[in-house]
Copies of this chain bind each other. A is one copy, B any other.
Amino acid sequence: MLENYSLPIQKALKKIKADVGDRIKVSKKGETYEGLIMPRIKLGDTNCIVLKMDSGYNTGVKFETGVKMSKVKSSENKKEKPIQLKYDKNKPPITIIATGGTITSKVEYKTGGVITIEKPEELLKSYPELQELANIKFVTPFRKMSEDMNYKDWQIIARTVAQELNSGRGVIITHGTDTLHYTAAALSFMIKGNKPVVITGAQRSPDRGSSDAATNLICSIYAALSDLGEVGICMHGSMNDDFCSFNRGVRVRKMHTSRRDTFRTLIDDPIAKVWTNGKIEKIDVRRKRDDTEVEVDDKFEERVALIKVYPGSYPDILDYYVKKGYKGFVLEGTGFGHVPTQSKNSWIETIQKITKKGIPIVITSQTLFGRVNTKVYANLRILFHESGAIPAEDMLPEVAYIKLGWVLGHTKDIKKVREMMLTNIVGEFTDRSKIRGD
């Protein structure tokens, strides 16, 4: 826990048998600071002891000659009893693949920050009712907050999911919410099969009164045991604790920083509503559970960039990435998919030059709602018909980004890439947007 402090600090703290969380006194030039030792990161002055004062504020005390330290009290974290997993042969088997995030975190009351719980199994301590619904096994292939997930993590999750599903268990993945929809899109393409793959998380940690974790986990268990056959995010469908939306993994997006019903299916309908009493209200079910083995097809090309276009943006950024060896781009254009066209700022010429090299450029819209159009305006006809840009239909930018990485993992042939991007593989675009407003 002290690892990011300078070696002299580590040494001095070990001498007084103090670790992160312990209360110490630091005296320096006649002044004395008393507080809890905070963990720190490798940035800034690592030769500075960070203390959480009783005021609630953090103070950094430079560790220099003359500084004296003494331990006042050990951390108040008491060792808790290990969780007992129950087994009841009449209950169905569920595997929770725990990767990290708020759902397996708790507020550290002394600091006010959210920290990861040591063992995901602790969830069952907060929610013993989960064991009434299923025999739960935990698998933790890695622990990570969602801002740090990448394609290698998606591959590990996909393989773990297949293994658990093929051994006859229902599967729930717990995950931080920030990039949950990127992971959901990746798993949608990587996992081939007709079984429910239920991804969930929480906006508030389980120890908070307003936590959404219980509702999300209970509904996720029902979804994972259901006859649905798709990959989706199962989280709060409203501001109440009554039901969750099971959102198709390729049509969903985190739409609010803090609301519990942050995940919304855009344009399209969600797969189902799952109520906390186990009722499943099917809305738009495309695939049902069957007995075929689940397979994993997780080849992925990481060198894809997702770039937003805006007034004052220049296309040299594309050249930069091409020089770095990038193999494809997804742009968030404006409106129907426009990019600036004028001479000193011609995205269109740069796009044509790059697609001629065989590097695909896919255009989405930053409006999020609605469909890219390739015809209405002259500039669009040029962009899509002469410059070779690939229209993403009404795919969400984040989904188009994941899909392009997955497609490029399978082929670099630009014609095949175009064909695959324009093929609706797992419901990632609608054939005709449902809300058109015509």
- Roughly how many angstroms separate A428 CA and B275 CA in the complex, as a whole number? 38
- Whether B114 pairs with A377 at a CB distance below 8 angstroms is yes
- Whether A255 pairs with B312 at a CB distance below 8 angstroms is no
Contact A257/B335 with A306-B310, A310-B306 known, Cβ cut-off 8 Å: yes
Determine the chain B residues whose CB is within 8 A of the CB of A260 once the complex forms.
Answer: 437
A298 within 8 A of B: no
- Whether A369 pairs with B308 at a CB distance below 8 angstroms is no
Smallest CB separation, A5 vs chain B (Å): 14
- Chain A 406-438, CB within 8 Å of chain B: the 1/0 string? 000000000000000000000000000001111
The 10 closest A-B CB pairs, nearest first, are A257-B370, A259-B437, A178-B335, A178-B334, A147-B338, A256-B369, A256-B370, A148-B342, A182-B311, A44-B386
- Whether B310 pairs with A398 at a CB distance below 8 angstroms is yes
Determine the chain B residues whose CB is within 8 A of the CB of A339 once the complex forms.
Answer: 147
- Whether A306 pairs with B304 at a CB distance below 8 angstroms is no
Determine the chain B residues whose CB is within 8 A of the CB of A183 once the complex forms.
Answer: 311
Indicate the member of A306, A320, A371, A376 with the most B CB atoms within 10 Å. A376
A296 within 8 A of B: no
- Chain A 370-405, CB within 8 Å of chain B: the 1/0 string? 111101111101100011000000000010010001
A246 within 8 A of B: no
Determine the chain B residues whose CB is within 8 A of the CB of A436 once the complex forms.
Answer: 258-259
**One of A80-88, A133-141, A220-228, A345-353 at the interface:** A345-353
- Whether A367 pairs with B256 at a CB distance below 8 angstroms is yes
A9 within 8 A of B: no
- Whether A367 pairs with B437 at a CB distance below 8 angstroms is no
Determine the chain B residues whose CB is within 8 A of the CB of A178 once the complex forms.
Answer: 334-336, 338
Contact A336/B387 with A306-B308, A376-B113 known, Cβ cut-off 8 Å: no
Determine the chain B residues whose CB is within 8 A of the CB of A345 once the complex forms.
Answer: 148, 150
Determine the chain B residues whose CB is within 8 A of the CB of A39 once the complex forms.
Answer: 378
A307 within 8 A of B: yes
Residues facing B in A32-66 (CB within 8 A) are 39, 41, 43-44
Contact A386/B257 with A177-B335, A310-B401, A438-B210 known, Cβ cut-off 8 Å: no
A317 within 8 A of B: yes
Contact A307/B308 with A147-B379, A257-B371, A435-B259 known, Cβ cut-off 8 Å: yes
- Whether B437 pairs with A375 at a CB distance below 8 angstroms is no
Smallest CB separation, A368 vs chain B (Å): 7
Indicate the member of A334, A342, A387 with the most B CB atoms within 10 Å. A334
Determine the chain B residues whose CB is within 8 A of the CB of A254 once the complex forms.
Answer: 334-335, 367
Determine the chain B residues whose CB is within 8 A of the CB of A368 once the complex forms.
Answer: 255, 368
Contact A43/B148 with A336-B257, A373-B258 known, Cβ cut-off 8 Å: no
